[in-house]
Amino acid sequence: MLSSSVIALLLVPLLLLNARPGWAITRESERLYQEACQAVEPLVQPSQVVLAPDIGVLGWCLDHAKILDPVGLVSPVSLEYTANRAPGELFSPSLLYHLTPDYVVSRLNFIKRLTQDPRFGEEYHLVWQGGEEASSGNPVMVFVHSRPVQGLP
């Protein structure tokens, strides 16, 4: 009885993968965040703050940095900014402008409106982008605050 339950538990996801290949969450995001992390990790100093809407891989890879989660899962300070979000925004730009993290690492869909804000363009500049070749058109982007950062040209 137990063995048939275990077999069924294993077969259902396999059948779903064969019937609907897009059913499972792809590992593309994890791979891209790992590449972004490898590109920026040597530059990030222990006292610096990285704003990351998707903290999974970055939290492990940049374990020497301070990770700012804009939705408040691990950064309670973010919760006070959630009421200021516009419809469709993951987080309020006021969080970014008040806390001024040193880096922003995110998929484009999480920060698209923010990247169109002239103030963001004045204060942050793109230092790495990966995954634009993916069919999703949703690259991972790394921005650094324009104040001098050790290690950047």
Is 151 part of any domain?
Answer: no
Segment 140-150 shows an average pLDDT of 79
Residue 55 has pLDDT above 90, yes or no: no
Structural domains counted in the chain: 1
Give the domain extent around 39: 26-145
Is 88 part of any domain?
Answer: yes
Q: Rounded to two decimals, what is the model's pTM? A: 0.76
Segment 21-31 shows an average pLDDT of 63
pLDDT given for residue 92 in this prediction? 87
Is 153 part of any domain?
Answer: no
- CA atoms 63, 67, 69, 75: torsion sign: positive
Is 5 part of any domain?
Answer: no
Indicate the pLDDT class of residue 100, thresholds 50, 70 and 90: very high
Is 95 part of any domain?
Answer: yes
pLDDT given for residue 32 in this prediction? 87
Whole-angstrom Cα distance, residue 30 to residue 116?
Answer: 25
Is 135 part of any domain?
Answer: yes
Is 6 part of any domain?
Answer: no
* 3-class DSSP assignment, residue 41: coil
